[in-house]
A and B are shown apart, each in its own frame.
Chain A
């Protein structure tokens, strides 16, 4: 009885004369390997050559600052809740007097850590963020020797004041519009429904 289409009947076929001489078969085989001489190489010489990357590639995260250089994150925890891999942890702090140039709102993230080994780079944190604070960028996470080094703190995540990171590709008008609407469920976008303005 035939159970699958993949089963093969073993044959004890006697070799034909040309097969017994082997030479024609050897030449056939050599022609096959020889034809590969002229085929395209699949190799990308990585450090010298880069593979084309999507403009909205989801790589290492960045915590954005606003136009005055203050951190946008208010430690609301939406990203941590949205994160399916539970890679994000944070601790909140209260802004003191005189720190207005550092933090945009009264509450800020004193500690903000992303475990890059847990992160699956799905981008849900970015979608969840109501303050346009966290974005995924086209940078790659560096190679480290120790597991602890993959837990990125604020020192690695927050963008440097003098070295801003461009996320305009991910900050499309649609997304920005969507984030303006209070109380909108995220999946309305996914369902392709039109967002009705208030």
Chain B
């Protein structure tokens, strides 16, 4: 029992640290990547090659003056960013980061904080709590811009969650009906990633993930050109930092979910052959670590694509956003669901 708690504690800490670390360096990479796309150099002053920039930014955020507006609701004002951060971090707990490995005493140790059998549902649930962080923060600021941003955020996230949910349903149907993320990833072990069977579903999921994480071109909640700063107009110091940071954690987690759902997670093509060539036994820690490396590479690629899109596309207008969500993505995801059912019936995976 003690060893179980200890192991889970260690996994929790490691996942927490990795999420924060990746988010911190995403902020740097975002700036660097945008600079590269725009023929600039980007931050390179803090530390070697600018690698200490996230530390400098974080330190700055902590030491800035903390302003809570007089007219705001103080409790909600503080609750907003913390809730946003908590929900961003919570999602990482069901993601299988690597293959289980077996210790010399025959114990299975999982690279996942918890493998709940309704993991997909859990992700959807936590993701939809995320909107409360923005909504509460925007409301408590008692500021019109913040409120407008919060309203935009909530309507956008709710609209896109539907299409996202339906595309996940089609994914679950085509992967055999399990809602556990561990099963979904393990089922792609054979070498065929789900994206082969669900290309349209992946596309819809990807677009919805962009919208859910409030990334450009769906960054209407915080669009600087119209709403000053959107829902975090009134925030300063580390509370603003939490909002900005949570956005990157969200991006990291949704990249992880996408690679787990559609690109095989820690599996990669010719994995078995590679392990065989290296002479690794089933359940070796090296298999887990190589798998984790593959998973992480996929996540980094996804984060880069997120950023690439951000620095290419202009922002949607609000009516275009709603059109896309309700008139295009929702029917398309329903079509995809019907198509999946038909295909899976023909493949003989569904029985009536």
Contacts and interface: CB of A to CB of B under 8 A. Distances in A.
Interface of A: 26, 29-30, 32-34, 36-37, 39-43, 45
Contacts of A40: 39
B312 A30 contact: yes
A33 B41 contact: no
Contacts of B13: none
A41 B40 CA distance: 6
A44 to B, nearest CB: 10
Given A29-B312, A32-B312, 13 more contacts: A26-B313, A30-B309, A33-B311, A36-B36, A36-B37, A36-B38, A36-B39, A39-B39, A41-B40, A41-B41, A43-B40, A45-B41, A45-B44
A100 B341 CA distance: 106
Q: 10 shortest A-B CB distances, which residue pairs?
A: A43-B41, A33-B312, A33-B37, A30-B312, A29-B312, A37-B36, A36-B37, A41-B41, A39-B39, A36-B39
Contacts of B312: 26, 29-30, 32-33
B16 interface: no
B313 A37 contact: no
B41 A37 contact: no
Contacts of A42: 39
Interface string B305-327: 00011011100000000000000
A36 B34 CA distance: 10
A41 B39 contact: yes
Nearest to A34: B308
A136 B190 CA distance: 76
Contacts of B309: 26, 30
Contact of B313 (A29, A34, A43): A29
30 contacts: A26-B309, A26-B312, A26-B313, A29-B312, A29-B313, A30-B308, A30-B309, A30-B312, A32-B312, A33-B37, A33-B308, A33-B311, A33-B312, A34-B37, A34-B308, A36-B36, A36-B37, A36-B38, A36-B39, A37-B36, A37-B37, A39-B39, A40-B39, A41-B39, A41-B40, A41-B41, A42-B39, A43-B41, A45-B41, A45-B44
A26 B310 CA distance: 11
A176 B308 CA distance: 60
Interface of B: 36-41, 44, 308-309, 311-313
A41 B311 CA distance: 17
Contacts of A37: 36-37
A78 B56 CA distance: 55
Contacts of A30: 308-309, 312
Contacts of B41: 41, 43, 45
A47 to B, nearest CB: 11
B105 to A, nearest CB: 49
Contacts of A33: 37, 308, 311-312
A42 B40 CA distance: 7
Contacts of B44: 45
Contacts of A39: 39
Contacts of A43: 40-41
A177 B5 CA distance: 92
A29 B309 CA distance: 9
A67 B231 CA distance: 71
B268 to A, nearest CB: 24
B291 to A, nearest CB: 29
Contacts of A41: 39-41
Nearest to A31: B312
A30 B37 CA distance: 10
Counting chain A CB atoms within 10 Å of each CB, the highest count among B36, B44, B308, B309 belongs to B36
B219 to A, nearest CB: 16
Nearest to B217: A26
B242 to A, nearest CB: 30
A122 to B, nearest CB: 34
A32 B309 CA distance: 12
A41 B38 CA distance: 9
A84 B194 CA distance: 76
